[in-house]
Structure 1
Amino acid sequence: MRRDSIEKVLLIGLTAVAAAGTMHCHSLAFPPGDLINPLGVGALLAGAAWYYRRSGADTFVLCLTALLHVTLYTACYSVLMYAVGAVGRPFVDDWLVASDRFFGVHVPSIKAWADGHPDVRTGLQWAYNSLLWQTPLLIIVLGFSGDRLRLEGFVRAFMLSTLACVVIFALWPAQGPFAAFGYSPNATQARYLEHLQGLRDGTRTVISWRGAEGLITFPSFHTCWAILLAWGSRRQRWLCVPVAILNGAVILSTLTTGWHYFTDVLGGIAAAGLAIGVSAAWVRSNENAAVGIGHEAAPERWLSGGPLLEHSTGA
């Protein structure tokens, strides 16, 4: 198993342990039957990766391995996020409203403008929902182009940024501007509020990845995710510009949909920057371990989209 895969398996395991520990602390339960789907999909992906590695289909193996890591991680992370939702620290919406006021941003006015322009609102809502298909598309493109370094870096940064977001969520939870400003939430937002309040008041005691909503509004993981997708596609010349434009729309849609404060967006930008920086340091560490400290590593080229770094330890 490659070192990158070992590190990601450890991250997945730590996330699962953190989820189990937090659930235990807050008397939450997980339906054992809900393990079947993610473990079954994971087993299929792992088996396919093993088979095609023996067949020498290296680019397909890259895709399968990345999808395996993302599938198992997101299942564990969804449970951790819901478990953390039960921690119950005071909401920080008042601070977020004050912060937005400092920056001169009023989310209800932005949402009202979008509601008055239905075509714009519909387009931005589509962009907001596009992350779920953008992610496997990027994995497939990077995998089949043989861009191992950037594919592994994207998945690693995705994991690290979500963990940063859940730590912030545990310390400084928020309901969202629709709760603070009193405008009517849409069906998804109302379901999110129901889930979050149920975790906090103890009426929701069974949690699972199944039917999970995104509970974290501060920081905006949609913003973070959009930045990571644009960053991950930076070496794909035919793809990077449309992906950057689409994900710029994703970031804008966090405000026009009324899901996030402007300060949430700033937090998402910071989380993405942190994850990218840590991933670069991770690459430096792996390169030094492979070729020796005396051999120059170049994470800066990796950050800026330079050529794929490949070193051989053999003769």
Structure 2
Amino acid sequence: MRPSLTKCIAIAAALLILLSSIALGVNYYFIHYPGNNYIPPNIELTVLILILIYSGLLLQFRRNFRLTRIFKEITFYYLVLCVLAYATNAAQYTPFPTIDQKIVAFESYFHIHLEKWLDWTHQYPLFVAILTWMYESLAYQMAAIPLIVIAAGKYHILRQYLFLLLASALFGFSIYYFFPTTAPASIIESPHFIEEQKATGIKFFEIHHHIEPSTIEGGMIALPSFHVIWAWLCVYLLHPWKIAFALILIANTILVLSCVLLGWHYLSDVLASIVILLIAHYLLRICQKHHNNA
């Protein structure tokens, strides 16, 4: 029998866990970098509670009972987020030098100067406020939209989303591990960068000089931009509802603009994210084709 989408999710998760474990092992035995912990607190207790609730519902009601299925999908989603957190822990221990200088040189060749874009953006305080609000909305979107999809009973859409999350992480985290980046604020001079943006480069410097990181703030991966990847996946989640899809598409287009215009990412990061999304969607299509033919 050919693999179903659930099996594809399991395979992607297993690959990500395997590669992350190798990276963690390399650091533990050979490099000894300190680092931040991105895994949610009390993860074991949370997983246990979710499994117990699901098991109780399964025993009390039938497998396809609505509440039983809802808790099953919530548990599934939480486990995938835990896998991503585990991979984040591993990726921070990359032993390779950053490529930010090369990205800036590459973009400068095409007359793309991010500091000038920042100067232009900050001429309009209201525009900056809107961009900032949209940039910061992603965490709320990723918390709320999957739960809305689960509550609506669109479980197949959630499973597609989970596969896309894992597939994009496989490629994106691998790129970062071998070609790490510390974002524009670590290399470009501009008075418009905020402390959170500078924290990305500070964390990298501290970790790679065997100094316990002084902050967990800011991002970690510049290329590819996971803000762009996850923003699109939130849009994808709502594609069965045309009005909601159109609204979130407009909102997250502004979010993508904010990634560059506020200086969180290079333009190259956005382009790399689009390539990874295309690959992830292609792999999803293969999995769906195999599932339909099974």
Aligned counterpart, 1:124? 131
1:288 equivalent to 2:289? Answer: no
> Which residue identity does 1:288 align to in structure 2?
N
Equivalent residues of 1:82, 1:215 under 8 A apart:
no
Structure 2 CA distance for aligned equivalents of residues 46 and 148 of structure 1: 18
Q: Give the 3 Å change call, closer, same or farther, for CA 70–140 of structure 1 in structure 2.
A: closer
Q: How far apart are 1:244 and its partner, in Å?
A: 0.4
TM-score of the superposed pair, with normalisation by structure 1: 0.79
1:244 equivalent to 2:249? Answer: yes
Q: How far apart are 1:10 and its partner, in Å?
A: 4.9
1:180 equivalent to 2:181? Answer: no
TM-score of the superposed pair, with normalisation by structure 2: 0.84
Equivalent residues of 2:228, 2:256 under 8 A apart:
yes
Q: Deviations over 1:116-148 (max 9, x none)?
A: 212111111111111111123221222222222
Match of 1:276 among 270, 278, 281: 281
> Which residue identity does 1:38 align to in structure 2?
I
Equivalent residues of 1:42, 1:68 under 8 A apart:
yes
Structure 2 CA distance for aligned equivalents of residues 66 and 212 of structure 1: 30
Where structure 1 has 5 or more consecutive residues not aligned to the other structure, the ranges are 290-315
The residue matched to 2:181 in structure 1 has which SS?
Answer: coil
Q: Which moved more, 1:22-31 or 1:214-223?
A: 22-31
Q: How far apart are 1:6 and its partner, in Å?
A: 5.2
Structure 2 CA distance for aligned equivalents of residues 265 and 120 of structure 1: 20
Question: How many residues are aligned here?
Answer: 284
**What fraction of aligned residue pairs are identical, expressed as a percent?**
18
Q: Which moved more, 1:182-191 or 1:243-252?
A: 182-191
Q: Which moved more, 1:57-66 or 1:96-105?
A: 57-66
Q: Which moved more, 1:251-260 or 1:145-154?
A: 145-154
Q: Which moved more, 1:172-181 or 1:265-274?
A: 172-181
Q: Deviations over 1:153-178 (max 9, x none)?
A: 01110111122110110121112112
Q: Give the 3 Å change call, closer, same or farther, for CA 122–11 of structure 1 in structure 2.
A: same
Aligned counterpart, 1:26? 27
Aligned counterpart, 1:115? 122
**RCO greater where, 1 or 2, for CA within 8 Å and sep 6 or more?**
2
Aligned counterpart, 2:212? 204
Equivalent residues of 2:196, 2:217 under 8 A apart:
no
Where structure 2 has 5 or more consecutive residues not aligned to the other structure, the ranges are none
1:135 equivalent to 2:136? Answer: no
Aligned counterpart, 1:191? 199
Q: How far apart are 1:284 and its partner, in Å?
A: 1.3
The residue matched to 1:204 in structure 2 has which SS?
Answer: coil
Structure 2 CA distance for aligned equivalents of residues 46 and 62 of structure 1: 12
Q: Any runs of at least 4 consecutive aligned residues in structure 1 with deviations exceeding 4 A, and if so which?
A: 2-7, 28-32, 56-63, 210-213
> Which residue identity does 1:246 align to in structure 2?
A
The residue matched to 2:208 in structure 1 has which SS?
Answer: helix
Output aligned runs, 1:59-138, within 5 Å. 59-138=66-145
